[in-house]
Amino acid sequence: NAVKELHSLYILLSKEGEDMRFYSNQFLEQPSLELSCGRYQLMKNRIVGGEDARSGKWPWQASLYMGAHGHVCGASLISNRWLLSAAHCFRDSDSVRYSIPSGWRAYMGLHTITEKSNRVAMRSIKRIVVHPQYDHSISDYDIALLEMETPVFFSELVQPICLPSTSRVFVYGTVCYVTGWGAIKENSHLAKTLQEARVRIINRSVCNKLYDNLITSRMLCAGNLNGGVDACQGDSGGPLACMGKGNRWYLAGIVSWGEGCARRNRPGVYTKVTALYDWIRQTTS
């Protein structure tokens, strides 16, 4: 089945490439107004190599927990009240009612998946808004907004990512990062530490040839056509972040689906945020 959903957060990493790492002893508390987006608050300290993402490097990454099931999906913090994720994370199964907001908890500021610290923010979910045109059969409009019960306070570990407007284009070949606690190989367990993978945006016509014309204009492909780097099960709903103007990180995509994990000529498929920007703005305003 070409359209295989990724219902947990797994990320495959290549060991090549550079890894920017950051450190700081400061803990900055800001008012809950969104003063800036797409930046980390940490001082830079460069280390070459490595797979684990440094604590605080991706401060918009959230983990969505469902009761006893633990981590189910990823999400991105876009304001002090709203998270953005994939619609397919909230489809009910025979045994679990994923569509009920009260069952979910969002954790922000996490580095290891089981971390318990006073720097980790936890919020209950008040409302889940799945896109009205979401089509499970073809994974189209695979996007959902989650409103938190109470606003979250921004800190060095909790920051919103910037949303790219409709006119923004992420050109083919752009280097971006996908992050999450998903499996580090196909059919494997969740990663304990937040993972990051460096991927490139792939031409839509190329991707459509690889996936038999299943790629709609609400989808974006990214990866490495040789395989080895991808999002995987468990990373669903998490961010595909690309550097944009002003040295800020923008949310280009939401982990949606793919065939297997990091297979040759099977790039990851993401919900294209620019195509749904107007809906996001209308829903959150």
Annotated catalytic sites, by residue? 88, 142, 236
Structure tokens given for 90: 């909230």
Using CA atoms, how far apart are residues 231 and 222, in angstroms rounded to an integer? 9
Strand ranges inside 56-165, DSSP E: 61-66, 71-77, 82-85, 104-108, 121-130, 144-148
Measure the CA–CA gap between 173 and 242, rounded to whole angstroms. 11
Q: How many angstroms separate the CA atoms of 234 and 97, rounded?
A: 18
List the beta bridge partners of residue 197: 178
Residue 196, Cβ density class (10 Å: 0-12 exposed, 13-18 middle, ≥19 buried) = buried
| Residue 213 neighbours by CB distance under 10 Å | 9
Q: Which amino acid is at 128?
A: I
How far apart CA 273 and CA 251 sit, in angstroms, is: 7
Work out whether strand 121-130 and strand 104-108 pair parallel, antiparallel, or are unpaired: antiparallel
Which candidate, 23, 218, 39, 2, places its Cα nearest to that of 131?
A: 218
Q: Rounded to an integer, what distance in angstroms lies between the CA atom of residue 111 and that of residue 54?
A: 8
Alpha-carbon distance of 190 to 238, in angstroms, equals: 14
Report whether 32 contacts 281 (CB < 8 A): no
End-to-end CA distance of the chain: 38
